[in-house]
Amino acid sequence: MAAIMRMVNRGTFSPAMGQQYLAFSSTAKGGVRAGQALPEKVKIVEVGPRDGLQNEKTIVPTETKIHLIDMLSETGLPVIEATSFVSPKWVPQMADQVEVMKGICKKPEVSYPVLTPNLKGFQAAVKAGASEVAIFGAASELFSKKNINCSVDESLQRFDEVMKAAKEAGVPVRGYVSCVLGCPYEGKVAPEKVAHVAKRLYAMGCYEISLGDTIGVGTPGSMTLMLEAVSREVPVSALAVHCHDTYGQALANILTALQMGINVVDSSVAGLGGCPYAQGASGNVATEDVVYMLHGLGIQTGVDLSKLMNAGAFICRSLNRKTNSKVAQATCKL
Amino acid sequence: MNVYNLYVGGVRAGQALPEKVKIVEVGPRDGLQNEKTIVPTETKIHLIDMLSETGLPVIEATSFVSPKWVPQMADQVEVMKGICKKPEVSYPVLTPNLKGFQAAVKAGASEVAIFGAASELFSKKNINCSVDESLQRFDEVMKAAKEAGVPVRGYVSCVLGCPYEGKVAPEKVAHVAKRLYAMGCYEISLGDTIGVGTPGSMTLMLEAVSREVPVSALAVHCHDTYGQALANILTALQMGINVVDSSVAGLGGCPYAQGASGNVATEDVVYMLHGLGIQTGVDLSKLMNAGAFICRSLNRKTNSKVAQATCKL
């Protein structure tokens, strides 16, 4: 793949040399990409079982969650966010967090991070077998106040003890920043504010910072400005994008991020998880649609799209809902 | 909602994007043509009149094909005569042959469109002749249009994939686009008919076509069947394209994938373009009103995510 890219960049690549492609989604021989150097590989962080299900109204039985994660484990996805160790009072969907962690069949080449909102959650997570956790901070003061009743800086301080415990236990921590391209309460969010929070999380010891367009209002324009600001503070290799498709902008935003050197993308199988701030509107971008685009660009993900679609079909049947993935909708009807 | 589109300085991932993009609204023709419900003439006229108030520079009004084939367009003459044409807006119509062209001009059309496929099998299955034969049939339309001083737009379908042939070679697309341009079409709209394209295939295809036709004469007509449309449009913009076809409310399903979506929604395209600081001249609220109107009339939900999100906040 690298050899092909060098030939493309030197203009000596000819279609005849191209790799064989089996389906429409793999027609980018040699990764020709509008003159931008795109990554050869992208790591997909599958957040369906946690972020996706957390925002679904229907409570999903534990066996169903476990089966979903096990199916996803077979697709080649390198990271599957399994559950969240928040209090069941706040997020009833995640009440079976311990059973899920203990029930899933963990593949050695797959990571199963879990959300840990505080030290208590962290301890419970480790006890249940978690070997990677995630914490979060908002780029908007108002969002932080409304969501967890404290300022952004206060919320990060609360995570200090989680970071300390994680360091002692040798558990890697991923950091999430929400509202990076807009806030349901504040409106515009300054790129510098996002950079500030991302920098704090990185300095605290998070190995990767996932930048979330929580209400999906971002466009390639605002994505570019935000990433420029953040990448001045945190190495691009430690950044990920978590785009919501509420305004249909997710894939265009992800493409923009890839063009700026990002090579980690969060997504949710079948586009699980609506937007809590816009009733009836969609939320997470569908993993199937992201994979389709990446493969079409000649970017490796390690993911088997058919197996992924099977997992999506399974969870949609269980939830008795239609998929939010356009690739799944199109493929099933042909 | 516009507060999120405040975007200064046109910073765009290091690529020179166009300052302005012309949006060709194909909802009333391509959109409605692919909707199952037959829409009353007054509704079509009202939709076009609402769209005429949004700032859209081009609105494809109807199609002069035989009503036998496309019953939805049977009221073509009434629509052309019934709409309130704004002087700054163009109202092209599809004309599949000379007879259609003559009827179109008689009904008041001052711009027409013809089409060719980039896939031989698609051409055969659709209109029962080869691609070259189909282009020859348009020779007489081009001749008549030239004499009448009527500009002609050319459509190429299946530019990124064909439901019958599968892969479509970029060189074939370039060949057909070049023919249409040489015949006198002022603009060539490249259509990803089944929406299978990605930024990867879009790039390869546009590179091939732009070697034969000036980029300023090219447009992209992306379908969102696989959710790739906006990413594909962004890619096209980065390659110098500044004309984009779209359909209000994402009207028009995909005839080749039952239940799947088709045209990309104009609202979603405009949202992205404005977010990039690109001028379109379009008032997004008025556009959404037009979309809401036609969806009510069709008794269906919008395919535009911007519309879905905005109406629920």
Locus of tokens 């799209």: A305
Q: Which run of H or of E encompasses B21? A: none
Cβ-defined contact of A255 to B235 (cutoff 8 Å)? yes
In a domain, A231, yes or no: yes
What's the pLDDT at B12? 42
Give the rounded percent of residues in chain B with a pLDDT score beyond 70.
94
What's the pLDDT at B306? 97
In a domain, A24, yes or no: no
- Which of A222, A225, A251 comes nearest B231 by C-beta? A251
Instruction: Tell me what the pLDDT averaged over chain B comes to.
Output: 92
Q: What are phi and psi of B87, to 5 degrees?
A: -60, -30
List the single range of A9-18, B165-174, B209-218 with lowest mean pLDDT: A9-18
**Mutate which of A19, A260, A293 to disrupt the B interface (most B C-beta within 10 Å)?**
A293
In a domain, A209, yes or no: yes
What's the pLDDT at B253? 79
What number of residues does chain B have?
313
Q: Are residues A254 and A285 in contact, defined by beta-carbon separation less than 8 angstroms?
A: yes
Q: Are residues A241 and A262 in contact, defined by beta-carbon separation less than 8 angstroms?
A: yes
In a domain, B12, yes or no: no
List the single range of A10-14, B194-198, B215-219, B284-288 with lowest mean pLDDT: A10-14
Instruction: Tell me what the pLDDT averaged over chain A comes to.
Output: 89
Q: What are phi and psi of A216, to 5 degrees?
A: 65, 20
- Which of B224, B230, B235 comes nearest A34 by C-beta? B235
Tens digits of residue pLDDT in A32-50: 444 468 999 999 999 999 9
Q: Quick one: tokens of A231?
A: 């990448």
Taking residues A18-34, what's their average pLDDT? 39
Report the residue of chain B nearest A324, measured CA to CA.
Answer: B227
Q: Give CA–CA dist B301/B291, Å, rounded.
A: 10
- Which of B1, B15, B275 comes nearest A219 by C-beta? B275
What's the pLDDT at B165? 93
Name the domain count of chain A. Answer: 1
Closest C-alpha among B282, B287, B292, B286 to residue B312: B292
Using 50, 70 and 90 to split pLDDT, how confident is the model at B266?
very high
What's the pLDDT at B254? 79
pLDDT at residue B277 is higher than 80: yes
In a domain, A31, yes or no: no
What's the pLDDT at B6? 37
- Which of A247, A260, A330 comes nearest B13 by C-beta? A260
Cβ-defined contact of B309 to A278 (cutoff 8 Å)? yes
What's the pLDDT at A15? 35
What is the pTM for the complete model shown? 0.91
pLDDT at residue B313 is higher than 70: no
- Nearest-neighbour CA in chain B from A41: distance (Å): 15
What is the DSSP annotation of A20-57? P--SGGG--TT---TT----SB-EEEE-IIIIIHHT-S
In a domain, B10, yes or no: no
Q: Which run of H or of E encompasses B162? A: none
Q: Which residues of B touch A181 (CB under 8 A)?
A: 4
Burial per residue of A252-266, b for 16 or more beta-carbon CB atoms within 10 angstroms, e otherwise: bbbbbbbbbbbbbbb
Cβ-defined contact of A330 to B254 (cutoff 8 Å)? yes
Using 50, 70 and 90 to split pLDDT, how confident is the model at B119?
very high
What's the pLDDT at A235? 98
pLDDT at residue B69 is higher than 60: yes
Report the residue of chain A nearest B234, measured CA to CA.
Answer: A252
What's the pLDDT at A36? 61
Q: What are phi and psi of B53, to 5 degrees?
A: -90, -5
List the single range of A145-159, B42-56, B73-87, B136-150 with lowest mean pLDDT: A145-159
Q: Which amino acid would we find at residue A165?
A: A
What's the pLDDT at B312? 55
Q: Which residues of A touch B13 (CB under 8 A)?
A: 36, 220, 224, 256, 259-260
Q: Which residue has the higher pLDDT, B289 or A334?
A: B289
Q: Are residues B29 and B65 in contact, defined by beta-carbon separation less than 8 angstroms?
A: no
- Nearest-neighbour CA in chain B from A100: distance (Å): 32
What's the pLDDT at B76? 97
Cβ-defined contact of A32 to B313 (cutoff 8 Å)? no
Q: Give CA–CA dist B162/B151, Å, rounded.
A: 28
pLDDT at residue B195 is higher than 50: yes
pLDDT at residue A26 is higher than 60: no
Q: Give the list of residues 6+ apart from residue B84 with CB closer than 8 angstroms, or none.
A: B49, B52
Taking residues A311-333, what's their average pLDDT? 93
In a domain, A10, yes or no: no
Tens digits of residue pLDDT in A247-298: 999 999 999 999 999 999 999 999 998 777 777 678 999 999 999 999 999 9
End-to-end C-alpha distance for chain A, whole angstroms:
31
What's the pLDDT at A113? 98
Cβ-defined contact of A296 to B228 (cutoff 8 Å)? yes
What's the pLDDT at B311? 75
pLDDT at residue A31 is higher than 50: no
- Tell me the CATH number at B299: 3.20.20.70
For the annotated catalytic residues of A, the residue numbers are 275
Cβ-defined contact of B226 to A36 (cutoff 8 Å)? no
What's the pLDDT at A24? 53
Taking residues B1-12, what's their average pLDDT? 38
Using 50, 70 and 90 to split pLDDT, how confident is the model at A7?
very low
Closest C-alpha among B68, B56, B148 to residue B108: B148
pLDDT at residue A163 is higher than 70: yes
In a domain, B26, yes or no: yes
Q: Quick one: tokens of B312?
A: 């629920």
Burial per residue of B81-101, b for 16 or more beta-carbon CB atoms within 10 angstroms, e otherwise: ebbebbeebbbbbbbbbbebb
Q: Are residues A144 and A150 in contact, defined by beta-carbon separation less than 8 angstroms?
A: yes
**What residues make up the domain containing B119?**
22-310
